[in-house]
Structure 1
Amino acid sequence: MSRAALLVLADGRFPAGGYAHSGGMEAAVASHSVHDKASLQAFCQGRLHTAGLTAAGLAAAAAAGHDPLTLDEAADARTSGPALRQVARRLGRQMLRAARVTWPSPDLDRLARLRPQGVHQPVVLGVTARAAGLTPLDAARCAAYESIGGPATAAVRLLSLDPLDATALLAGLAGELDDVAGAAAEAADRVTADGVSALPAVCAPLLDILGERHAAWNVRLFAS
Protein backbone atom coordinates (compact mmCIF):
# COMPACT_ATOMS: atom_id res chain seq x y z
CA MET A 1 0.00 0.00 0.00
CA SER A 2 1.27 3.46 -0.88
CA ARG A 3 -0.20 6.41 0.97
CA ALA A 4 1.37 8.61 -1.70
CA ALA A 5 -1.33 7.24 -4.01
CA LEU A 6 -3.93 8.81 -1.74
CA LEU A 7 -2.27 12.20 -2.21
CA VAL A 8 -2.43 11.78 -5.99
CA LEU A 9 -6.07 10.67 -5.93
CA ALA A 10 -7.20 13.48 -3.63
CA ASP A 11 -5.21 16.17 -5.43
CA GLY A 12 -7.39 18.67 -7.23
CA ARG A 13 -5.06 18.38 -10.21
CA PHE A 14 -5.96 14.72 -10.74
CA PRO A 15 -7.72 14.94 -14.12
CA ALA A 16 -11.10 13.63 -13.00
CA GLY A 17 -13.14 16.67 -14.05
CA GLY A 18 -14.17 17.80 -10.58
CA TYR A 19 -12.73 21.30 -11.08
CA ALA A 20 -15.58 22.05 -13.51
CA HIS A 21 -18.28 21.30 -10.91
CA SER A 22 -19.27 23.36 -7.88
CA GLY A 23 -21.14 20.71 -5.90
CA GLY A 24 -24.25 22.88 -5.71
CA MET A 25 -22.33 26.01 -4.70
CA GLU A 26 -23.13 28.06 -7.81
CA ALA A 27 -26.86 27.60 -7.34
CA ALA A 28 -26.54 28.18 -3.59
CA VAL A 29 -24.76 31.49 -4.19
CA ALA A 30 -27.37 32.53 -6.75
CA SER A 31 -30.14 31.84 -4.22
CA HIS A 32 -28.21 33.81 -1.56
CA SER A 33 -28.19 30.87 0.82
CA VAL A 34 -24.38 31.07 0.69
CA HIS A 35 -23.05 34.62 0.79
CA ASP A 36 -20.15 34.77 3.26
CA LYS A 37 -17.71 32.63 5.26
CA ALA A 38 -20.26 31.62 7.89
CA SER A 39 -22.87 30.47 5.39
CA LEU A 40 -20.17 28.68 3.38
CA GLN A 41 -19.16 26.75 6.48
CA ALA A 42 -22.76 25.80 7.18
CA PHE A 43 -23.18 24.60 3.59
CA CYS A 44 -20.01 22.53 3.68
CA GLN A 45 -20.89 20.98 7.05
CA GLY A 46 -24.32 20.04 5.80
CA ARG A 47 -22.94 18.59 2.58
CA LEU A 48 -20.28 16.61 4.44
CA HIS A 49 -22.78 14.92 6.75
CA THR A 50 -25.31 14.13 3.99
CA ALA A 51 -24.03 13.73 0.43
CA GLY A 52 -20.47 13.37 1.70
CA LEU A 53 -21.32 10.55 4.10
CA THR A 54 -23.33 8.71 1.45
CA ALA A 55 -20.56 9.05 -1.14
CA ALA A 56 -17.93 7.96 1.38
CA GLY A 57 -19.88 4.81 2.17
CA LEU A 58 -20.18 3.87 -1.50
CA ALA A 59 -16.48 4.56 -2.09
CA ALA A 60 -15.44 2.50 0.93
CA ALA A 61 -17.61 -0.44 -0.14
CA ALA A 62 -16.17 -0.37 -3.66
CA ALA A 63 -12.63 -0.21 -2.26
CA ALA A 64 -13.45 -3.22 -0.09
CA GLY A 65 -14.16 -5.23 -3.24
CA HIS A 66 -17.96 -5.28 -3.27
CA ASP A 67 -19.64 -5.50 -6.67
CA PRO A 68 -19.44 -2.02 -8.26
CA LEU A 69 -22.50 -2.62 -10.43
CA THR A 70 -24.60 -3.33 -7.36
CA LEU A 71 -23.13 -0.27 -5.70
CA ASP A 72 -23.93 1.80 -8.78
CA GLU A 73 -27.58 0.80 -8.43
CA ALA A 74 -27.40 1.71 -4.74
CA ALA A 75 -25.97 5.10 -5.70
CA ASP A 76 -28.90 5.65 -8.08
CA ALA A 77 -31.33 4.89 -5.26
CA ARG A 78 -29.53 7.36 -3.02
CA THR A 79 -29.58 10.18 -5.59
CA SER A 80 -33.14 11.31 -6.09
CA GLY A 81 -32.49 14.13 -8.55
CA PRO A 82 -32.05 13.17 -12.23
CA ALA A 83 -29.64 16.06 -12.79
CA LEU A 84 -27.32 14.93 -9.99
CA ARG A 85 -27.43 11.33 -11.21
CA GLN A 86 -26.32 12.51 -14.63
CA VAL A 87 -23.54 14.60 -13.11
CA ALA A 88 -22.33 11.69 -10.98
CA ARG A 89 -22.08 9.43 -14.02
CA ARG A 90 -20.33 12.09 -16.08
CA LEU A 91 -17.76 12.57 -13.34
CA GLY A 92 -17.46 8.80 -13.02
CA ARG A 93 -16.64 8.44 -16.72
CA GLN A 94 -13.96 11.10 -16.49
CA MET A 95 -12.42 9.59 -13.36
CA LEU A 96 -12.45 6.14 -14.92
CA ARG A 97 -10.52 7.41 -17.94
CA ALA A 98 -7.87 8.98 -15.73
CA ALA A 99 -7.70 6.03 -13.36
CA ARG A 100 -7.18 3.43 -16.10
CA VAL A 101 -4.10 5.31 -17.28
CA THR A 102 -2.76 6.04 -13.80
CA TRP A 103 -3.41 2.66 -12.11
CA PRO A 104 -4.12 0.06 -14.83
CA SER A 105 -6.41 -2.61 -13.43
CA PRO A 106 -8.64 -5.40 -14.76
CA ASP A 107 -11.37 -4.19 -12.42
CA LEU A 108 -11.31 -0.71 -13.94
CA ASP A 109 -11.27 -2.16 -17.46
CA ARG A 110 -14.24 -4.39 -16.62
CA LEU A 111 -16.19 -1.44 -15.26
CA ALA A 112 -15.56 0.58 -18.41
CA ARG A 113 -16.62 -2.37 -20.58
CA LEU A 114 -19.80 -3.23 -18.68
CA ARG A 115 -21.01 0.33 -18.06
CA PRO A 116 -19.91 2.52 -21.00
CA GLN A 117 -22.66 4.99 -20.10
CA GLY A 118 -20.87 5.72 -16.84
CA VAL A 119 -20.86 4.71 -13.19
CA HIS A 120 -21.47 6.98 -10.21
CA GLN A 121 -18.27 8.78 -9.31
CA PRO A 122 -17.97 7.56 -5.67
CA VAL A 123 -18.12 3.96 -6.89
CA VAL A 124 -15.41 4.59 -9.47
CA LEU A 125 -13.39 6.34 -6.76
CA GLY A 126 -13.57 3.25 -4.58
CA VAL A 127 -12.55 0.87 -7.37
CA THR A 128 -9.71 3.24 -8.22
CA ALA A 129 -8.55 3.34 -4.60
CA ARG A 130 -8.48 -0.46 -4.56
CA ALA A 131 -6.44 -0.51 -7.78
CA ALA A 132 -4.02 1.97 -6.21
CA GLY A 133 -3.54 -0.27 -3.17
CA LEU A 134 -5.47 1.97 -0.78
CA THR A 135 -7.85 0.95 2.01
CA PRO A 136 -11.62 1.46 2.24
CA LEU A 137 -10.97 4.11 4.90
CA ASP A 138 -8.65 5.91 2.50
CA ALA A 139 -11.37 5.86 -0.16
CA ALA A 140 -13.92 7.16 2.34
CA ARG A 141 -11.62 10.01 3.37
CA CYS A 142 -11.06 10.96 -0.26
CA ALA A 143 -14.78 10.98 -1.04
CA ALA A 144 -15.63 12.94 2.09
CA TYR A 145 -12.95 15.53 1.37
CA GLU A 146 -14.09 15.91 -2.22
CA SER A 147 -17.64 16.59 -1.04
CA ILE A 148 -16.51 19.82 0.63
CA GLY A 149 -13.29 20.68 -1.19
CA GLY A 150 -15.04 21.31 -4.50
CA PRO A 151 -17.73 23.64 -3.12
CA ALA A 152 -15.20 25.56 -1.01
CA THR A 153 -12.95 26.11 -4.03
CA ALA A 154 -15.92 27.17 -6.15
CA ALA A 155 -17.00 29.65 -3.50
CA VAL A 156 -13.65 31.43 -3.78
CA ARG A 157 -14.41 32.17 -7.43
CA LEU A 158 -18.10 32.86 -7.01
CA LEU A 159 -17.90 35.10 -3.93
CA SER A 160 -14.36 36.45 -4.35
CA LEU A 161 -13.49 35.01 -0.95
CA ASP A 162 -9.93 34.95 0.31
CA PRO A 163 -8.54 31.51 -0.63
CA LEU A 164 -6.84 31.38 2.76
CA ASP A 165 -10.22 31.60 4.48
CA ALA A 166 -11.56 28.74 2.39
CA THR A 167 -8.53 26.62 3.19
CA ALA A 168 -8.86 27.41 6.90
CA LEU A 169 -12.50 26.36 6.74
CA LEU A 170 -11.57 22.98 5.26
CA ALA A 171 -8.88 22.48 7.88
CA GLY A 172 -11.37 23.32 10.60
CA LEU A 173 -13.66 20.54 9.36
CA ALA A 174 -10.88 17.93 9.47
CA GLY A 175 -12.15 16.32 12.66
CA GLU A 176 -15.69 16.01 11.33
CA LEU A 177 -14.33 14.66 8.05
CA ASP A 178 -12.44 11.94 9.90
CA ASP A 179 -15.60 11.02 11.80
CA VAL A 180 -17.63 10.81 8.59
CA ALA A 181 -14.99 8.71 6.84
CA GLY A 182 -14.72 6.37 9.83
CA ALA A 183 -18.49 5.89 9.99
CA ALA A 184 -18.60 5.23 6.24
CA ALA A 185 -15.81 2.64 6.42
CA GLU A 186 -17.50 0.89 9.35
CA ALA A 187 -20.75 0.75 7.37
CA ALA A 188 -18.90 -0.74 4.41
CA ASP A 189 -17.65 -3.50 6.73
CA ARG A 190 -21.28 -4.48 7.35
CA VAL A 191 -22.15 -4.87 3.66
CA THR A 192 -23.01 -8.45 2.76
CA ALA A 193 -23.51 -10.40 -0.44
CA ASP A 194 -27.27 -10.08 0.13
CA GLY A 195 -27.39 -6.31 -0.12
CA VAL A 196 -25.97 -2.91 0.66
CA SER A 197 -28.61 -1.65 3.08
CA ALA A 198 -25.93 -1.07 5.73
CA LEU A 199 -24.46 1.79 3.70
CA PRO A 200 -25.44 5.37 4.58
CA ALA A 201 -28.43 6.72 2.68
CA VAL A 202 -28.60 10.26 3.99
CA CYS A 203 -30.60 12.59 1.79
CA ALA A 204 -30.09 16.30 1.15
CA PRO A 205 -33.27 17.55 -0.55
CA LEU A 206 -31.95 21.09 -0.93
CA LEU A 207 -28.94 19.84 -2.90
CA ASP A 208 -31.31 17.94 -5.21
CA ILE A 209 -33.42 21.06 -5.72
CA LEU A 210 -30.37 23.23 -6.36
CA GLY A 211 -29.07 20.65 -8.83
CA GLU A 212 -32.29 20.64 -10.83
CA ARG A 213 -32.44 24.43 -10.90
CA HIS A 214 -28.83 24.73 -11.97
CA ALA A 215 -29.28 22.21 -14.80
CA ALA A 216 -31.99 24.44 -16.29
CA TRP A 217 -29.79 27.52 -16.52
CA ASN A 218 -28.75 28.65 -19.99
CA VAL A 219 -25.61 30.42 -18.74
CA ARG A 220 -23.46 29.14 -15.88
CA LEU A 221 -19.86 29.12 -14.77
CA PHE A 222 -19.79 25.51 -13.54
CA ALA A 223 -21.20 22.34 -15.09
CA SER A 224 -23.10 21.59 -11.86
Structure 2
Amino acid sequence: MTDPDAARDAADERKAGTLLEQMGGVAGLIYSTLPILVFVPANTWFGLRGAIIAALATAAAILAYRLYRREDVTPAISGFFGVAICAFIANRTGDAKGYFLFGIWTMLVYSALLIVSIIVRWPLIGVLWNAVNGAGTAWRRHRPTLIAYDLATAVWAVVFIARYLVQHHLYDTGRTGLLAGARIGMGWPLTILAVVATVLLVRRAERVEDEIESADS
Protein backbone atom coordinates (compact mmCIF):
# COMPACT_ATOMS: atom_id res chain seq x y z
CA MET A 1 0.00 0.00 0.00
CA THR A 2 1.12 3.55 -0.69
CA ASP A 3 2.02 5.67 2.33
CA PRO A 4 -0.33 8.71 2.21
CA ASP A 5 2.28 10.97 3.80
CA ALA A 6 4.93 9.86 1.34
CA ALA A 7 2.55 10.42 -1.56
CA ARG A 8 1.70 13.89 -0.27
CA ASP A 9 5.37 14.75 0.22
CA ALA A 10 6.11 13.66 -3.35
CA ALA A 11 3.19 15.75 -4.62
CA ASP A 12 4.42 18.77 -2.68
CA GLU A 13 7.91 18.35 -4.10
CA ARG A 14 6.42 18.26 -7.60
CA LYS A 15 4.45 21.42 -6.85
CA ALA A 16 7.58 23.15 -5.56
CA GLY A 17 9.40 22.06 -8.69
CA THR A 18 6.58 23.39 -10.86
CA LEU A 19 6.64 26.73 -9.05
CA LEU A 20 10.40 27.00 -9.54
CA GLU A 21 9.99 26.03 -13.19
CA GLN A 22 7.57 28.94 -13.64
CA MET A 23 10.42 31.18 -12.42
CA GLY A 24 12.82 29.61 -14.88
CA GLY A 25 14.13 26.87 -12.63
CA VAL A 26 17.27 27.07 -10.51
CA ALA A 27 19.35 27.44 -13.67
CA GLY A 28 17.14 30.30 -14.82
CA LEU A 29 17.50 32.05 -11.48
CA ILE A 30 21.27 31.70 -11.73
CA TYR A 31 21.26 32.92 -15.34
CA SER A 32 19.46 36.05 -14.17
CA THR A 33 22.51 37.01 -12.07
CA LEU A 34 25.01 36.78 -14.93
CA PRO A 35 24.21 40.17 -16.55
CA ILE A 36 24.72 41.79 -13.13
CA LEU A 37 28.04 39.98 -12.63
CA VAL A 38 29.14 41.32 -16.02
CA PHE A 39 27.69 44.83 -15.66
CA VAL A 40 29.56 45.98 -12.55
CA PRO A 41 33.16 45.12 -13.58
CA ALA A 42 32.44 46.23 -17.16
CA ASN A 43 31.37 49.62 -15.80
CA THR A 44 34.70 49.89 -13.96
CA TRP A 45 36.76 48.88 -16.98
CA PHE A 46 34.83 50.33 -19.92
CA GLY A 47 32.45 52.90 -18.48
CA LEU A 48 28.66 52.95 -18.42
CA ARG A 49 28.11 52.50 -22.15
CA GLY A 50 30.45 49.52 -22.25
CA ALA A 51 28.71 48.01 -19.21
CA ILE A 52 25.30 48.39 -20.86
CA ILE A 53 26.52 46.69 -24.03
CA ALA A 54 28.13 43.89 -22.00
CA ALA A 55 24.97 43.26 -19.95
CA LEU A 56 22.77 43.19 -23.07
CA ALA A 57 25.23 40.90 -24.84
CA THR A 58 25.23 38.53 -21.86
CA ALA A 59 21.42 38.40 -21.78
CA ALA A 60 21.36 37.78 -25.54
CA ALA A 61 23.96 35.01 -25.18
CA ILE A 62 21.86 33.31 -22.49
CA LEU A 63 18.82 33.46 -24.77
CA ALA A 64 20.82 32.01 -27.67
CA TYR A 65 22.23 29.27 -25.44
CA ARG A 66 18.78 28.21 -24.26
CA LEU A 67 17.53 28.22 -27.84
CA TYR A 68 20.48 26.02 -28.81
CA ARG A 69 19.74 23.63 -25.92
CA ARG A 70 16.03 23.67 -26.86
CA GLU A 71 15.13 24.71 -23.36
CA ASP A 72 12.16 26.85 -22.37
CA VAL A 73 13.15 30.32 -23.54
CA THR A 74 10.33 32.24 -21.84
CA PRO A 75 12.44 33.14 -18.76
CA ALA A 76 15.36 34.08 -21.03
CA ILE A 77 13.16 36.35 -23.15
CA SER A 78 11.67 38.06 -20.09
CA GLY A 79 15.18 38.27 -18.65
CA PHE A 80 16.48 39.95 -21.80
CA PHE A 81 13.70 42.53 -21.74
CA GLY A 82 14.32 43.06 -18.03
CA VAL A 83 18.01 43.75 -18.72
CA ALA A 84 17.01 46.06 -21.58
CA ILE A 85 14.75 48.09 -19.27
CA CYS A 86 17.49 48.28 -16.61
CA ALA A 87 20.03 49.32 -19.25
CA PHE A 88 17.67 51.99 -20.59
CA ILE A 89 17.19 53.48 -17.10
CA ALA A 90 20.94 53.42 -16.44
CA ASN A 91 21.54 55.19 -19.73
CA ARG A 92 18.88 57.79 -19.01
CA THR A 93 20.17 58.50 -15.50
CA GLY A 94 23.78 58.45 -16.67
CA ASP A 95 24.77 56.45 -13.60
CA ALA A 96 25.57 52.76 -13.20
CA LYS A 97 23.39 52.50 -10.11
CA GLY A 98 20.39 53.36 -12.30
CA TYR A 99 20.67 49.82 -13.68
CA PHE A 100 19.22 48.56 -10.39
CA LEU A 101 16.42 51.11 -9.98
CA PHE A 102 13.75 49.16 -11.88
CA GLY A 103 14.36 46.05 -9.77
CA ILE A 104 14.25 48.03 -6.54
CA TRP A 105 10.83 49.52 -7.25
CA THR A 106 9.59 46.20 -8.58
CA MET A 107 10.33 44.68 -5.16
CA LEU A 108 8.18 47.36 -3.50
CA VAL A 109 5.28 46.72 -5.91
CA TYR A 110 5.49 42.95 -5.36
CA SER A 111 5.47 43.31 -1.58
CA ALA A 112 2.45 45.64 -1.75
CA LEU A 113 0.52 43.18 -3.94
CA LEU A 114 1.33 40.32 -1.57
CA ILE A 115 0.19 42.25 1.51
CA VAL A 116 -3.04 43.40 -0.16
CA SER A 117 -3.80 39.81 -1.23
CA ILE A 118 -3.58 38.70 2.42
CA ILE A 119 -5.90 41.51 3.52
CA VAL A 120 -8.58 40.60 0.94
CA ARG A 121 -8.28 36.87 1.87
CA TRP A 122 -6.90 35.79 -1.50
CA PRO A 123 -3.25 35.17 -0.53
CA LEU A 124 -1.30 35.48 -3.75
CA ILE A 125 0.99 32.52 -3.12
CA GLY A 126 -2.05 30.27 -2.69
CA VAL A 127 -3.54 31.57 -5.92
CA LEU A 128 -0.30 31.07 -7.87
CA TRP A 129 0.61 27.75 -6.25
CA ASN A 130 -2.74 26.19 -7.09
CA ALA A 131 -3.01 27.87 -10.50
CA VAL A 132 0.27 26.41 -11.78
CA ASN A 133 -0.83 22.99 -10.53
CA GLY A 134 -4.42 23.23 -11.81
CA ALA A 135 -5.88 22.77 -8.32
CA GLY A 136 -8.53 25.48 -8.54
CA THR A 137 -9.75 27.43 -5.50
CA ALA A 138 -11.04 24.67 -3.21
CA TRP A 139 -8.17 25.40 -0.81
CA ARG A 140 -9.93 28.62 0.28
CA ARG A 141 -12.70 26.58 1.95
CA HIS A 142 -10.23 25.00 4.39
CA ARG A 143 -9.24 27.44 7.11
CA PRO A 144 -5.88 25.78 8.03
CA THR A 145 -4.85 25.76 4.39
CA LEU A 146 -5.94 29.37 3.90
CA ILE A 147 -3.95 30.44 6.96
CA ALA A 148 -0.93 28.50 5.68
CA TYR A 149 -1.08 30.38 2.40
CA ASP A 150 -1.47 33.64 4.34
CA LEU A 151 1.75 32.83 6.20
CA ALA A 152 3.53 31.70 3.03
CA THR A 153 2.47 34.92 1.29
CA ALA A 154 3.72 36.88 4.30
CA VAL A 155 7.09 35.11 4.00
CA TRP A 156 7.39 36.21 0.38
CA ALA A 157 6.29 39.75 1.32
CA VAL A 158 9.03 39.93 3.95
CA VAL A 159 11.59 38.73 1.37
CA PHE A 160 10.58 41.45 -1.09
CA ILE A 161 10.42 44.15 1.59
CA ALA A 162 13.89 43.18 2.84
CA ARG A 163 15.25 43.31 -0.70
CA TYR A 164 13.68 46.71 -1.24
CA LEU A 165 14.93 48.25 2.01
CA VAL A 166 18.51 46.99 1.67
CA GLN A 167 18.87 47.76 -2.02
CA HIS A 168 17.16 51.15 -1.77
CA HIS A 169 19.59 52.14 0.99
CA LEU A 170 22.59 51.03 -1.08
CA TYR A 171 21.18 52.90 -4.09
CA ASP A 172 20.77 56.10 -2.10
CA THR A 173 24.34 55.84 -0.78
CA GLY A 174 25.73 55.11 -4.25
CA ARG A 175 27.34 51.77 -3.37
CA THR A 176 26.95 50.14 -6.77
CA GLY A 177 29.23 47.17 -6.05
CA LEU A 178 27.44 46.33 -2.81
CA LEU A 179 24.12 46.87 -4.57
CA ALA A 180 25.04 44.22 -7.13
CA GLY A 181 26.12 41.87 -4.33
CA ALA A 182 22.84 42.44 -2.49
CA ARG A 183 20.83 41.81 -5.68
CA ILE A 184 22.56 38.45 -6.13
CA GLY A 185 22.78 37.44 -2.48
CA MET A 186 19.14 38.31 -1.82
CA GLY A 187 17.96 36.91 -5.15
CA TRP A 188 17.69 33.22 -5.96
CA PRO A 189 18.94 31.93 -2.55
CA LEU A 190 16.06 33.69 -0.77
CA THR A 191 13.65 32.62 -3.51
CA ILE A 192 14.51 28.96 -2.94
CA LEU A 193 14.18 29.39 0.84
CA ALA A 194 10.76 31.00 0.36
CA VAL A 195 9.64 28.07 -1.82
CA VAL A 196 10.80 25.62 0.86
CA ALA A 197 8.92 27.60 3.54
CA THR A 198 5.79 27.54 1.35
CA VAL A 199 6.01 23.76 0.95
CA LEU A 200 6.45 23.20 4.70
CA LEU A 201 3.57 25.50 5.64
CA VAL A 202 1.15 24.01 3.12
CA ARG A 203 2.17 20.45 3.99
CA ARG A 204 1.46 21.06 7.68
CA ALA A 205 -1.90 22.71 6.90
CA GLU A 206 -3.00 19.81 4.70
CA ARG A 207 -2.14 17.32 7.44
CA VAL A 208 -4.13 19.30 10.00
CA GLU A 209 -7.06 19.39 7.59
CA ASP A 210 -6.85 15.62 7.12
CA GLU A 211 -6.86 15.12 10.90
CA ILE A 212 -9.95 17.31 11.25
CA GLU A 213 -11.79 15.42 8.50
CA SER A 214 -10.82 12.08 10.07
CA ALA A 215 -12.09 13.18 13.47
CA ASP A 216 -15.41 14.30 11.98
CA SER A 217 -15.95 11.07 10.04
**Category of TM-score, reference length = shorter chain:** 0.3 to 0.5
Q: TM-score, normalised by structure 1?
A: 0.32
Considering fraction of residues, name the structure with more helix.
2
Q: TM-score, normalised by structure 2?
A: 0.33
